[in-house]
């Protein structure tokens, strides 16, 4: 029955702190008294449950939230939940950039000079456009 286990863009498991944390899509998430009923990180089994009836964007956001929850638990960061929330949203945004920038710019610029000596340009790291004339 593992064949119908689809995670739709999410990994089946993540490696976190030397542990293999399974990402499980479920019908309902335990802990109905919790404020986030879309996902759950279970510290006892070290697994993440995410509702399967979520949109891809929502499930991605829940996924990253629970990843931060897992990191928070494993490394005993004791983050306040609003910080977990913010980190989850931010990581989700960054992760979306990963899929859109799959092409590397491939900087194949011709090597103008064979820099045999690592002499600096003498400008001490200041770009020319930063130099304001008098």
Smallest gap, in angstroms, from Cβ of residue 104 to Zn ion? 35
When the beta carbons of 77 and 100 are compared against Zn ion, the nearer one is: 77
Smallest gap, in angstroms, from Cβ of residue 42 to Zn ion? 12
Closest to 31 (Cα-Cα) out of 14, 6, 15, 49: 49
When the beta carbons of 82 and 99 are compared against Zn ion, the nearer one is: 82
Q: Is the distance from CB of 41 to CB of 68 less than 8 angstroms?
A: no
Site string for Zn ion, 14-53 (x = CB under 5 A): ----------------------x-----------------
When the beta carbons of 25 and 65 are compared against Zn ion, the nearer one is: 65
Q: Is the distance from CB of 30 to CB of 40 less than 8 angstroms?
A: yes
When the beta carbons of 25 and 72 are compared against Zn ion, the nearer one is: 72
**Which position's Cβ is nearest Zn ion?**
36
Smallest gap, in angstroms, from Cβ of residue 55 to Zn ion? 19
Smallest gap, in angstroms, from Cβ of residue 10 to Zn ion? 17
Q: Which residues bind Zn ion (CB under 5 A)?
A: 36
């Amino acid at each position: 029955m593992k064949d119908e286990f689809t995670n739709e863009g999410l990994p089946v498991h993540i490696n976190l702190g030397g542990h293999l944390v399974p990402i499980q899509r479920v019908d309902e998430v335990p802990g109905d008294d919790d404020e986030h009923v879309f996902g759950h990180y279970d510290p006892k089994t070290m697994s993440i449950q995410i509702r399967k009836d979520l949109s891809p964007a929502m499930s991605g956001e829940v996924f990253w939230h629970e990843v931060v929850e897992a990191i928070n638990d494993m490394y005993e960061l004791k983050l306040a939940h609003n910080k977990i929330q913010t980190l989850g949203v931010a990581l989700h945004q960054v992760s979306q950039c990963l899929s859109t920038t799959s092409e590397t710019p491939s900087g194949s610029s011709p090597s103008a000079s064979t820099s045999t000596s690592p002499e600096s340009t003498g400008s001490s790291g200041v770009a020319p456009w930063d130099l304001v004339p008098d």
